[in-house]
Every structure is written in structure tokens, then in C-alpha cells.
Amino acid sequence: MSRDAHPSPVEQTPEQMLQPHDHSSPAGGPSAQPVATEAATGAAGTQSVAKVAHEVRLERLRAFYGASEQVKGIDLSFPPNQVTAIIGPSGCGKSTMVRCINRMHEEIPGARAEGRVLLDELDIYDPAVDVIAVRRAVGMVFQKPNPFPTMSIFDNVAAGLRLTVGRSRRGELQHRVESALRGAGLWDEVSGRLSSPGVGLSGGQQQRLCIARSLAVDPEVLLMDEPCSALDPIATLKIEELIEQLKTRITIVIVTHNMQQAARVADRTAFMLAGELVEVGPTNEIFTKPSDPRTEEYVTGKFG
Amino acid sequence: MSAHGAAPDRLARFAVSPRRRRADRLARGMLLAATLVALVPLVLIVYYLLVKGLGAWSWSFFTTDPTGSTFFGGSSIGGIKSAILGTLEMVALASMIAIPIGVGVALWLVEYGQPLWFANTVRFFVDVLTGVPSIVFGLFIYIVLIIGTGSTYAGYKGSLALSLLMLPVVIRSAEVILQLIPGALRESALALGAPRWKVIFRIVLPTALTGMLTGILLAVARAAGETAPLLFTAGHTNQTSLSLGSFMNSLPYQIYNDVTSPTTEVVNRAWGAALTLVAMILILNLIARLIARRSRLA
């Protein structure tokens, strides 16, 4: 999986240089040697190269459960450094489509997918591709927060690494757990109790813990399947702020039932109906002047 | 019940009818009675075990083998050392066989076999095995490993009979617990890019551990208390034997032998042995629970 397959300088330059959350903290640099200049130069010193987000493109994607076709041939691309929201009524195939992007769809007995899903021009359904490598590159956050119940906060985040890469040095692990927790905006709330159980956190914190767990393995794309539907408005707001920060380095796809949420966080919005893509475009266009009457009816609340 | 302020017809509509009140009292009373009836034998068992069993306990009771001479009573009848060690050894070996295999079968059934008809067939046979009387397992080992090979009794043959007895209990209880683990947990681990075997060993098994322990202990306790499968597999001896290849004494067999004796001291030794068996299972339970609690957050 080539990380440099996306050399589009126009998109990287302004945002990539900022990356506020990732470098402002001592997480990036070794705290043992507080060099003054390093704090000043920030980004360049700690994480040498700003990460480039990656593109996902679906080509004639079809998904089945047994004989019933839930996603009926979708062409759609998710540009890097952008948040794409998928909206549509229940059962329209949003989640199914998103689960095809990290090949989780096939985990359900009898389920299969056809067509192509290109991650930076590489078809992740190519028989030569390792499904495990795909899932490491394309993280997923689920509707209900689901921290691993037997593990502490630290171990939950570390699990992302331990379950995938295997053993890593203690210092390295600690560093990556901390930066993942900072990346998920949870560090300040939990840094004092890393060894307490992950399930002891509030719902919103648990969901951010799950996001941290996904971030720890350094994904190129993050899929979020209604990540806020079980959360209260304040916790939702925190997740939305987080999405805003994360998109500077990760391509984000978010399924949501909440149209205000789509309007708040998404650069682009796609509207699905009965397994088909009705319309996709810049979010404000979809909400203000959609080209398809069905989209207009849905976003104005006439059905769905 | 004063109806001040409320119109009498309003009260009539909302008041509890005497009939329902009676029915409620009757139902509660019957449930309480059932509880008390069930409690009577339980309390009596514990009471007799303690009263009769503790009387038999002494230092030499645990440190000497039964002598086999039961005519003169007193300390000359010996203790139950060989029975304790025999039960510990045989149950330990049986557990070492049945627990890994049983948990393995349950994992396969839940994690891999779910959509296959073969899994349902396995499930059916496991259910059948659960209902098989324990003496049949003893008989099976007797026919295969004693008659079949033309050899004689041995401790490990007893262990095998016990492990057959434990297997269906372990499989069924582990399977039920594994099915309770939310699919979302497996999904989120898989979505991180974890290989399936790691999901099973790092996420599914630790989460299920505490629950599975209950079923496993039930199986161990059942095996430790069985006489029938040992009758013609492990044989009987008074001597302590540390080798599972030779004849072996066990607590249930010792109890079975002793209660039929005309000598009071020997019958009392049966009580002492019974209390020992119960105490051993209780201690095992406590230790396992302690381990489980500690490993909760390792």
C-alpha cells in the first residue's frame, strides 16, 4: 500500500502544515530533552513529514446479503482531507456500503461484495490483497461505543497496536498511546487514570477512547458509522470537533442520521436511497439546492 | 382507607379488589413455601456434614492411608490420604484433558462453525452426551481400555472416564458464554486489523473467562464427586499411589466403601471424607474466582 501515491500539493500545503493537535504537545517529542527550538519549530522537528490523507474510490460497488442486493452499483469517491457524510433513510445501504470499504461486510455469514474499492488506486478486493492490511489502513468507529471490557484505558488504546503489530517497546507503546489519546482529545481527561477500566468512562469518553484505539494503528482512512447516535449533544459536539481536526491527516467517511451533523462536519455529502446513490456534492449544495427532487424531499424532512 | 375528598364511585374504580389481594398473598405464600422446602435438605446436608464430618477429622485422618482392617475401630482403621491424593491426581488429569478440548470445541462452534450443518450435528451429540449416565462412561473405558487391551485398572483410565463425563458440560457451558460475547466486540477488534486468532485469544477468551470458569468448575466438581466411572476403571487400593498408571483410590470410592461398613468408626470416616470432598471443591471455587477477579484487569 503506497503512502505517497497522493502527491497533490495543492491540497496538502495549507492544512498539513498546521496540524494543531499532533505537535503542540510534548507527546511528539521526547520529554527528557526539552530543546527550546523544538517547541518553536514544532511540526518539523517532531514528526518530520506531514501525513498526506488518502483517497478512496468506489467503482460499481455492489453488496449482497445472500441473494438480496443492498448496495446496487455505486460509484463514489472520497477525496483526501475531506469529510464525506453519507445520509439516507434507515435500510438504504449506507452502513453496508461503508463496511465494504474496510472489508468488514464479508464478516457477516452469506455476505459478499462485487465491484472495486480503490484505496489510492489499489483495489482492496484484489485477491492478492491481505484483508488484515486493509483494515489496518482503514479504521472503523461503530455506532455504540465498545471498549474492550477486560482492559484498562491504556490497554484499550494499546490493543490497537498489540493486536496488529505485535510487541513493541514499552516506551514506544506509551508514546503512541499518549499521542492517540491526545489525537482523540481524551488525554487531559484520562491521563491520571490510565489503568482504570475503559468501560468506566462516560459514553462520550468511551467513543473517543474507541477513536483513539483506531488512531493508534495510524489509519489512512477512518470510517464512522453513526458515531454519535448513542451520545448526548455535548459529547456529540466533542466528537464533531475531533473530526474537524482529524481530517487534516485522515480521510473521513461518516454515516449519519442527523442532517444537522452532516451539515456541521461534512465537506461533501452523499444521499443514498434503496441501495443507490442519488446525489453527491458539496454539503451546502446538497442541503440548499439539491439537483434531485428526492434529495430535496429528504433533507427538508418530507420523508425518511 | 378513608375516602375523604374522593367521590365513592372514583374509589370503587381504583381500589384494590379483595380478591386480587387474596390471590397475591396466596401466590407469594406458595413461592415462599417452595423456597423453604428446598432449603430444608440443603441446610440438613451441610449440618450433618459438619457435625459428623468434623468429628472424624484429625491430623492422622489426612496423613495416613486406610489400613483395610476395620474390625477393631479406633485409629487402626487409618485415614484417607490415598483417597485425597487419588482424587486430586485423577481429577487434575481429567481436567487437563477435558478443559482445553472442551473450550476448543466451544470456540470452534461459536467462532467458525456457526453456519455449518456439521456444527449442529456436533451440538446434538454434545447434548446427548450430557444426558448419558456416568456409569456408561466408565463402562466404555472398561470395554475399550481394559477388556479391549487385556490390561487392568489404572488411575489414568479413571481420568479418561471422568474427562468424557466433563467434556459435554465444559463444551455446553463455554458455548453459551461465548455466544453472550457481543458481536460488536469481535467486529471492533477485526476492524482494527487484528487477525482472527488474536481476536479470539486477546479479546473473546479474556472477556468470556469469568463466565466460562463457572461452567468449568461445575464440571470439575461433578467429576470429583463421581464414583461410577471409577468403579471399573481406576480400581481400588488402600495405598497411596503417585503413579497414574497403577490402581488408585478416590474420595467417592472411599465413601462408597466406608458407609456400607458395620463399624461406626468406618462410617464416620465416610462422613469425614465427604466433608473433605466438599471442602476441596469449595476451596477450588474460591481460588478460581480469585484468579478470575485478578485477571480482569491485568
Q: Which of A139, A148, A213 sits opposite B185 (nearest CB)?
A: A148
Q: Are strands A111-119 and A122-123 parallel, antiparallel or unpaired?
A: antiparallel
Report the alpha-carbon distance of residue B138 to residue B161 in Å, rounded: 5
Q: How far is B100 from chain A (nearest CA, A)?
A: 21
Q: Which of A142, A150, A164 sits opposite B194 (nearest CB)?
A: A164
The strand ranges marked E within A186-295 are 221-225, 251-255, 268-273, 276-282
Q: What is the mean pLDDT of chain A?
A: 80
| A12 pLDDT higher than 70 | no
Mean pLDDT of all residues in B31-59: 93
Q: Quick one: which H or E segment has residue B159?
A: helix B155-180
B148-162, pLDDT tens digit by residue? Answer: 888 889 989 999 999
Residue B102: per-residue pLDDT: 96
Q: Tell me the pTM.
A: 0.77
Residue A22: per-residue pLDDT: 36
Q: How many helices (H) and strands (E) does chain B have?
A: 14, 0
Q: Given an 8 Å threshold on Cβ–Cβ distance, is B191 in contact with A133?
A: no
Name the residue of chain A whose CA is nearest to B116's CA: A109
Q: Given an 8 Å threshold on Cβ–Cβ distance, is B188 in contact with A140?
A: yes
The more confident residue out of B28 and A299 is B28
Determine contact: A211 vs chain B, CB below 8 A: no
Q: Given an 8 Å threshold on Cβ–Cβ distance, is B203 in contact with A160?
A: no
A5 confidence band (pLDDT: 50, 70, 90)? very low
B-interface mutation test, from A129, A150, A206, most B Cβ less than 10 A away: A150
The answer to whether B172 and B124 have CB atoms below 8 angstroms apart is: no
Q: How far is CA B156 from CA B159, B220, B221, B234, in A?
A: 5, 16, 18, 7
What is the percent of chain B with per-residue pLDDT over 90, rounded to a whole number?
A: 51
Determine contact: B185 vs chain A, CB below 8 A: yes
B4-41, pLDDT tens digit by residue? Answer: 666 777 777 888 888 999 999 999 999 999 999 999 99
- DSSP states of B190-221: HHTT--HHHIIIIIIHHHHHHHHHHHHHHHHH
Grid coordinates given for A156: 484499550
Residues with Cβ < 8 Å from B87, sequence gap 6 or more? B224, B250, B251, B252, B277, B280
Residue B235: per-residue pLDDT: 84
B101-132, pLDDT tens digit by residue? Answer: 999 999 999 998 877 889 999 999 999 999 99
Q: How far is CA B193 from CA A81, A144, A255, in A?
A: 22, 19, 21
Q: How far is B83 from chain A (nearest CA, A)?
A: 39
Q: How far is B175 from chain A (nearest CA, A)?
A: 19
Determine contact: A5 vs chain B, CB below 8 A: no
Grid coordinates given for A106: 464479508
Residue B273: per-residue pLDDT: 94
Q: Given an 8 Å threshold on Cβ–Cβ distance, is B191 in contact with A136?
A: no
* Edge-to-edge strand ranges of the sheet holding A111-119: A68-78, A56-65, A111-119, A122-123
The answer to whether A266 and A283 have CB atoms below 8 angstroms apart is: yes
| A138 pLDDT higher than 70 | yes
A4 confidence band (pLDDT: 50, 70, 90)? very low
Binding-face residues of B in 188-227 toward A, CB within 8 A: 188-195, 198-199, 202-203, 206-207, 209
A168-194, pLDDT tens digit by residue? Answer: 677 788 888 998 898 888 898 888 899
The answer to whether A213 and A159 have CB atoms below 8 angstroms apart is: yes
Chain A CB contacts of B293 below 8 Å:
none
Residue B2: per-residue pLDDT: 52
Q: How far is A36 from chain B (nearest CA, A)?
A: 37
| Amino acid in the structure at residue A260 | Q
Q: Given an 8 Å threshold on Cβ–Cβ distance, is B190 in contact with A197?
A: no
Report the alpha-carbon distance of residue A224 to residue A277 in Å, rounded: 18
* Edge-to-edge strand ranges of the sheet holding A251-255: A138-141, A221-225, A251-255, A83-87, A268-273, A276-282
- DSSP states of B220-277: HHHHHT--HHHHTTT---SS----TTS----HHHHHHHHHT-SSHHHHHHHHHHHHHH
B251-288, pLDDT tens digit by residue? Answer: 999 999 898 888 888 898 999 999 999 999 999 888 88
What is the percent of chain B with per-residue pLDDT over 70, rounded to a whole number?
A: 94
A19-67, pLDDT tens digit by residue? Answer: 333 333 343 333 333 333 333 333 333 343 445 678 899 999 999 998 8
Q: Given an 8 Å threshold on Cβ–Cβ distance, is A104 in contact with B191?
A: yes
